[in-house]
Structure 1
Amino acid sequence: MHLLTSPRETVSLDGEWQAIPDQYEMFREYFEDFTDDDVPGFDPIYEPNASLENDPVDFNIYDGYSVRVPSSWGEEIPEFRHYEGWVWYAKQFDRADIQDGNRERTFLRFGAVNYRAEVWLNGERLGDHEGGFTPFSFEITDRLVDGENVLVVRVDNQRYEKGIPDPTTDWFNFGGINRSVELVTVPEPFVRNYKVETTLSGGDDTVRIAVAAWIGGSGGDTDTGTPVSVTLPELGLEADLSSDADAAGDADGPTRYHAELSVPTEDVTLWNPSDPRLYTVELECGDDRVEDRVGLREIRVDDGDILLNGEPIWLRGVSLHEEAAGKGRALEAEDVETRFRWLNELGCNFARLAHYPHTEAMARTADEEGILLWEEVPAYWDVKFGDETVQQLYRQQLRELIQRDWNRASVALWSIANETDHTDEVRNEVLPEMAAFVRERDDSRLVTAACFVDETDDRLAIRDPLADDLDVIGINEYYGWYYGDAETMHEFRDDPTGTPVVISETGGGAKWGHHGDEDERWTEEFQAAIYRGQTRAIADIEQISGLAPWILFDFRAPLRQNEYQRGYNRKGLLDQYGRKKAAFSVLERFYRARKENAASDGRSS
């Protein structure tokens, strides 16, 4: 079960760390040996300033490259920009810096490490984690010592055949501790995680609120003896939660508590893009108290429409990567703010966070800004679906994302895959299982995947068998760029009452500042013409419930190496520095018109 951190006060371990590349993967043996007093010659790698003295020390954890955490190592150390392999990170912190008071337990939490991490504290191995974009934690209560504590992390960003993603992707492989590292202190027992779900009951005009909390007890075992309560003070709601020892979520320890509350619809402002109202939620368990801000809303599909709070909504969106020029994957607050400024300028009410889980700050900011989100895991292209180890990793990454963001009202869609081969029989057996896995953990959101559209004898149609297991079908298509004409989507076989479709990718490339005629590829004018044709083509297709073109800004992609790209995917509406291309205003005008039409029709915008 995910360790709840964001609403809590934590001790940050961000800042300066030491980093040592280990291209030949030799230092792990040294590292395991240095704590053995019987092995001569290795102790200096664990002694401060050893390499400054007259010792033949090749590896010393106090004397590496000075890097910031969070960061991507290729941005911190330019000569390692294309390095893939092992890097050892080390950080010291003082036990006295942990303000634990009556807090009895301490956890070490990583926001994300790309791609594999192995962690030691004071020479004792805590464990490992695979997956470059989701959080993980270790309890270190009994591993702390008075005075200085030494944390060592082996980070490995190599690409693996049985990884998720697999070795070939169309984005850059930013290695490093890309998100924050924190110490979390809690009393015992404590709220490890919680979940709020909203259901509208049209018959009696009531909003029903289901609250679940997972309580960690002694030694990480279940706890059923401590009272747990929830309060929503602005709504005048409070309740005691009852334990359900047989419903531990993922059967990974904490006891599940639950309660049902209700409030008249007229007394609630439901979260929506026009009014993203958030309510305070307070949870208490013994000496532990958690306070968060949560939006109350319901999203579902019915009769071919995506319904937000019972009203049809058309998703005006764009796709984006988690990347910033000169920073790689390690976004700062200003980078998140800039993304939402661009989204608001476009007139978006929706964004697709591709192709992996982005920083949690994106979802929390989307809650405040009123932007619905599509979040996904990197089950991308040629994942080895038939391998049991890969399937286990697949479920792990889905679980870690879902449990991190299941209280964010902005998160509307969980995506389970992108552009996978729908003629692969193994894939067609596994992906429905993953859709079911997602619904078992969170059925309050929609399940989707980015699929393809197929050309038939007379029309365009969706032939992917996975469509039967999705609430919303994503379509990636590049008419006007790789094939066909920009308006070819007009030939889509419309089924107004069928499963809603979102165009999850479309567009074309252009280098900022390169101008020419509309029929001259790589010019801003060519890209803008694609957007005009695409938006005309889909405007009257009733089954299409949203659009998220590819992509908001240019991003690094090793596969893209022609004279206009040079290592960047140039399909952005802006370049990597935020300079707008002509297509930006085309999409902005289309979205403004759709928003005005929705308002005039009395529909949700």
Structure 2
Amino acid sequence: MRKLHYLLIALLLVTMKSSIAQQAPLIQNIQARNVLSLNGRWNYIVDPYENGYYDYRHEAFDATTSGTGGFYDDKKPKDKGELIEYDFDYSPTLNVPGDWNSQVEKLEMYEGTVWYRRKFNAAVKPGKRYILYFAAVNYEAHVYLNGKKLGMHKGGFNSFQFEVTGKLKAGENFIVVKADNTRHQDEIPTINTDWWNYGGITRDVFIAEVPDTYIADYKVQLAKNDAAHIEGYVQLNGNDLSQDVTLNIPEAGIKTTVKTDATGRAVINIPVRKISYWSPENPKLYSVNVAAGTDNVSDKIGFRTIQVKGTDIMLNGKSVFLRGISIHDENPLLKGRNRSTGDLKMLLTWAKEMNCNYVRLAHYQHNEEMLRLADEMGLMVWAEVPVYWTISWENPATYQNAENQLTGLITRDINRASIIVWSIGNETPVSEPRLKFMGNLASKARSLDNTRLVAAALEVHRKGNEAIVDDPLGEKLDLVSFNEYAGWYWGGDPSGITKYNFNIKYNKPVVITEFGGDALSGYHADANTRWSEEYQEALYKNQIAMLSKITALRGMTPWILADFRSPRRQHPVYQTFWNRKGLISETGKKKQAFFVLKSFYDELEKKYK
């Protein structure tokens, strides 16, 4: 019966293909183009019954013969007798980018449909193409331009776009977006998460102008385990696909011209004479220009190698310890998704103050600007997709969704030197269907990019005083990376956890992707009193002592940099819908454990110099 259910879902996907297929392939570095920002105030209508999408027979307006009747028409009465039961002009506004939960008190816990509308003026030039770009909408977005549907997108954290050439008008236009953050079992992520389900248009929106034939994608990175060659490709999109493409890196003395083939693709392979390699100590970025015909794109790119040798992680051929911390895409001070470069930089600056050289951007795709800042600030990155906890492992549509999100992440960020790990998931339970699902994701990641490490946050299992890591998925990964919560969810109080030893099956570098415990900032007691800063401080001291016994330990990202909101965390005194495992409070105050980790990282920095 279950297989029949999933077969029907697969058939439904085929019928939906007409709208999904209209999504344009992601353009590399699209924000570097000539763009018209659509950020700002958008009118919105809350629609829990989806009256703007379905008629009273629950048939979608945009699937009817006329294709009219929904809120996306932004219709006005023709005369005083016409009945229209919505009006965007008189509706309130939300700021974009931003989530609705933190902007409107009555929507704080709302999950469902909200309609957005934005009017704007555009200049349309002959010989140019236009791309409507969304950096993220959570979760399912139906997008309409001037009353006509462009398509639908699923995925709350990855970018998507539609070509609007021929649909965009010179003068006034309007965009309507149906955003629905309802959780579903078969989606990515699934129903059950430990973070706030912020709904809405949470990242930038703009229209990009490109030539008729443009540079759609490029990769300019050091070859796999080879610091002496830059390898990559350039991909054109348009009618004139056979062109000369010039790659210019003036500061490195590199300039080369290659010819694209009939599909618009050209392969790059350039010897490197002298180059300054990117690292946390030297986050060197080069100005890189790619030109083809009337199009050219500039980027800032760093060059480094990352590989595993035995139990060592090698950055530019030198063993490195990943002094890290986990981060959510949330500003604790303002309660909501990060809205600006300032929000993002604040979080990474806090990590640098702790002497981190590495961050885990959990549990989903973070803002592209976050990766560019990590490049500039010298922070290595673990980048992840939200294959989280218990997924519908046997549903082909669920797998395709996960693969699409992974592909989008790698496509968008493939030129970011800071990213050293592609993560395919977090805390997924061992089973044969899950092994196949995750194994296929690992293979997909390697097929898209063979220059970085592939990992996942695994779980431990306990027997007596042993914490056992024996997950068959580990065979397919480059790191033994796992979460463990000794001293909080198991193992008794902090003083007793040093008796535990780790039995790890794989002879690979060990990276602890999570450990920690909650502390309410400003609550002080003895080291055995839960929720106190002293308890969290003792937990960190004893975790460090326990983990230091692992000879292959090469990194950690404790959970988590800052307190964040979660509906799962309901204690009325200590949590109040906040996960308090942060080392920094929601007011920006550093807890005592922050300084324990910083001291440990200071010593590690000396050791690995």
Counterpart residue number, 1:234: 251
- The answer to whether the 8 Å contact 2:501/2:549 transfers is no
Matched, 1:341 2:365: no
Residue 213 of structure 1: which of 231, 234, 241 is its match? 234
Which deviations, in whole Å up to 9, do the C-alpha atoms of 1:192-213 show, x marking residues without a partner? 11112203777xxx62001311
Trace 1:52-201 onto structure 2 (pairs within 5 A).
56-96=83-123, 104-199=128-223
Counterpart residue number, 2:581: 571
Matched, 1:493 2:517: no
Matched, 1:10 2:18: no
Taking the aligned partners of 2:531 and 2:414, their CA distance within structure 1 comes to 40
Trace 1:551-562 onto structure 2 (pairs within 5 A).
551-562=560-571
Counterpart residue number, 2:10: none
Paired letter, 1:536: A
Residue 515 of structure 2: which of 503, 506, 512 is its match? 506
If the length of structure 1 is used for normalisation, what is the TM-score? 0.90
Paired letter, 1:117: A
Trace 1:263-342 onto structure 2 (pairs within 5 A).
263-264=272-273, 267-324=274-331, 325-342=333-350
Alignment identity in percent?
38
Does the C-alpha gap of structure 1 residues 42 and 75 become closer, same or farther in structure 2, counting only changes over 3 Å?
closer
Which deviations, in whole Å up to 9, do the C-alpha atoms of 1:162-220 show, x marking residues without a partner? 10011110111000000010100000210111112203777xxx6200131111013xx
Residue 74 of structure 2: which of 43, 46, 50 is its match? 46
Residue 54 of structure 1 and its aligned partner are, at CA, apart by: 8.1
Counterpart residue number, 1:518: 527
- The answer to whether the 8 Å contact 2:52/2:70 transfers is no
Structure 1 unaligned blocks of 5 or more: 246-253, 600-605
If the length of structure 2 is used for normalisation, what is the TM-score? 0.90
- The answer to whether the 8 Å contact 1:34/1:46 transfers is no
Residue 488 of structure 1 and its aligned partner are, at CA, apart by: 4.0
Paired letter, 2:563: D
Counterpart residue number, 1:472: 479
Which deviations, in whole Å up to 9, do the C-alpha atoms of 1:494-544 show, x marking residues without a partner? 68x911111000010010110000010100000000000011222242211
Does the C-alpha gap of structure 1 residues 443 and 533 become closer, same or farther in structure 2, counting only changes over 3 Å?
same
Taking the aligned partners of 1:39 and 1:142, their CA distance within structure 2 comes to 19
Taking the aligned partners of 1:391 and 1:470, their CA distance within structure 2 comes to 19
Counterpart residue number, 2:15: none
Counterpart residue number, 1:440: 447
Counterpart residue number, 1:416: 424
Does the C-alpha gap of structure 1 residues 537 and 95 become closer, same or farther in structure 2, counting only changes over 3 Å?
same
Partner-residue secondary structure (3-state), 2:422: strand
Paired letter, 2:189: P
Paired letter, 1:525: E
Partner-residue secondary structure (3-state), 2:150: strand
Does the C-alpha gap of structure 1 residues 134 and 41 become closer, same or farther in structure 2, counting only changes over 3 Å?
closer
Counterpart residue number, 1:249: none
Taking the aligned partners of 1:425 and 1:62, their CA distance within structure 2 comes to 53
Does the C-alpha gap of structure 1 residues 40 and 168 become closer, same or farther in structure 2, counting only changes over 3 Å?
closer
Residue 45 of structure 2: which of 3, 6, 20 is its match? 20
Which deviations, in whole Å up to 9, do the C-alpha atoms of 1:76-109 show, x marking residues without a partner? 211111111111111111123x6x5x75100000
Taking the aligned partners of 1:269 and 1:293, their CA distance within structure 2 comes to 14
Paired letter, 1:523: S
Matched, 1:381 2:389: yes
Partner-residue secondary structure (3-state), 2:598: helix
- The answer to whether the 8 Å contact 1:103/1:186 transfers is no
Which deviations, in whole Å up to 9, do the C-alpha atoms of 1:426-463 show, x marking residues without a partner? 10122111100010001111000000122246743311
Paired letter, 2:104: I
Partner-residue secondary structure (3-state), 2:212: coil
Counterpart residue number, 2:544: 535
Which deviations, in whole Å up to 9, do the C-alpha atoms of 1:380-417 show, x marking residues without a partner? 01110110000110110000111011100000101101
Structure 2 unaligned blocks of 5 or more: 1-24
- The answer to whether the 8 Å contact 2:465/2:499 transfers is no
Matched, 1:582 2:592: yes
- The answer to whether the 8 Å contact 1:494/1:543 transfers is no
Paired letter, 2:31: S
Paired letter, 2:86: F
- The answer to whether the 8 Å contact 1:346/1:591 transfers is yes
Counterpart residue number, 2:20: none
- The answer to whether the 8 Å contact 2:74/2:147 transfers is no
Paired letter, 1:84: E
Does the C-alpha gap of structure 1 residues 59 and 305 become closer, same or farther in structure 2, counting only changes over 3 Å?
same
Does the C-alpha gap of structure 1 residues 62 and 280 become closer, same or farther in structure 2, counting only changes over 3 Å?
same
Does the C-alpha gap of structure 1 residues 41 and 437 become closer, same or farther in structure 2, counting only changes over 3 Å?
closer
Counterpart residue number, 2:19: none
Residue 8 of structure 1 and its aligned partner are, at CA, apart by: 2.3
Residue 291 of structure 1 and its aligned partner are, at CA, apart by: 0.5
Taking the aligned partners of 2:301 and 2:604, their CA distance within structure 1 comes to 28
Matched, 1:367 2:375: yes
Equivalent pairs counted in the alignment come to 576
Taking the aligned partners of 2:160 and 2:525, their CA distance within structure 1 comes to 49
Does the C-alpha gap of structure 1 residues 347 and 43 become closer, same or farther in structure 2, counting only changes over 3 Å?
closer
Paired letter, 1:80: L
Residue 577 of structure 1 and its aligned partner are, at CA, apart by: 2.2
Residue 598 of structure 1 and its aligned partner are, at CA, apart by: 1.6
Residue 405 of structure 2: which of 374, 391, 397 is its match? 397
Partner-residue secondary structure (3-state), 1:318: strand
Does the C-alpha gap of structure 1 residues 39 and 344 become closer, same or farther in structure 2, counting only changes over 3 Å?
closer
Taking the aligned partners of 1:39 and 1:131, their CA distance within structure 2 comes to 25
C-alpha RMSD over aligned residues: 2.5
Does the C-alpha gap of structure 1 residues 61 and 32 become closer, same or farther in structure 2, counting only changes over 3 Å?
farther
Residue 303 of structure 1 and its aligned partner are, at CA, apart by: 1.3
Does the C-alpha gap of structure 1 residues 533 and 195 become closer, same or farther in structure 2, counting only changes over 3 Å?
same
